[in-house]
Amino acid sequence: MAVIEQDLAQEVVTQPLLLFSEGASTQLLKMMREKNLNKDEYALRVFVAGGGCSGLQYGMTFDDEVREGDTEFVAHDLRVLVDHVSAVYLAGSTVDYVDSLMGGGFKIENPNSAGGCGCGKSFRAKEEGGASAAESSAGGCGSCGGH
């Protein structure tokens, strides 16, 4: 039994902080090539910052510096960095790239969100309380027009 528990603990440790679809990773690597960024020198930094109509907003940028406390992992050949504060809000999230007739964009499914704006760029963390996810999605911001 102890061996099984040890194997399970190791599996949890090696699980990436965020899951990226192959489409999201492919699109991000394409963007890096278009900006002439070497994928061995740069990584995608995913973060959470205050702001947006729901209190917190997602951000992504290319970064060539690994900072103290960063979690670093590879998703489909894409290096990803997440700072320790953002990791609390992003753990277990899935990043996908959706391409439609209205245009393409990144979509983050976040199990730590208590709801957010219809645009998907802003969210409220579960521990912040307040309105339910259904109630908060009825609100709006300038980006989504209040849908």
Provide the b/e sequence for 63-79 (b: ≥16 CB within 10 Å): beeeeeebbebebeebb
Q: Which pLDDT does position 63 carry in this prediction?
A: 98
Phi first, then psi: give them for residue 28, nearest 5 degrees.
Answer: -70, -40
Range of the domain at 122: 16-137
Answer with the residue of higher pLDDT: 29 or 114: 29
Q: Give the model confidence (pLDDT) of 81-112 as tens digits.
A: 999 999 998 999 999 999 887 778 998 888 87
Q: Which pLDDT does position 17 carry in this prediction?
A: 87
**Within a domain: residue 37?**
yes
Question: How far apart are alpha carbons 16 and 105 in whole angstroms?
Answer: 22
- What CATH number does residue 29 fall under? 2.60.300.12
Question: How far apart are alpha carbons 49 and 115 in whole angstroms?
Answer: 16
Q: Give the model confidence (pLDDT) of 49-64 as tens digits.
A: 887 666 788 899 999 9
Question: How far apart are alpha carbons 55 and 117 in whole angstroms?
Answer: 10
Contacts of 101 (CB under 8 A, 6+ apart): none
**Within a domain: residue 85?**
yes
pLDDT at position 74 over 80: yes
The secondary element (H helix, E strand) that includes residue 30 is helix 22-34
What's the domain count of the chain? 1
**Within a domain: residue 4?**
no
Amino acid found at 23 = G
**Within a domain: residue 5?**
no
**Within a domain: residue 105?**
yes
pLDDT at position 141 over 80: no
Question: How far apart are alpha carbons 28 and 101 in whole angstroms?
Answer: 20
Q: Tokens representing 6?
A: 């040890």
Confidence band, pLDDT 50/70/90 cuts, at residue 120: low
Read off the pLDDT of each residue in 130-146 and give the average, rounded to a whole number.
Answer: 40
**Within a domain: residue 71?**
yes
Read off the pLDDT of each residue in 70-77 and give the average, rounded to a whole number.
Answer: 94
Q: Give the model confidence (pLDDT) of 7-52 as tens digits.
A: 443 333 356 789 999 999 999 999 999 999 999 999 999 999 887 6
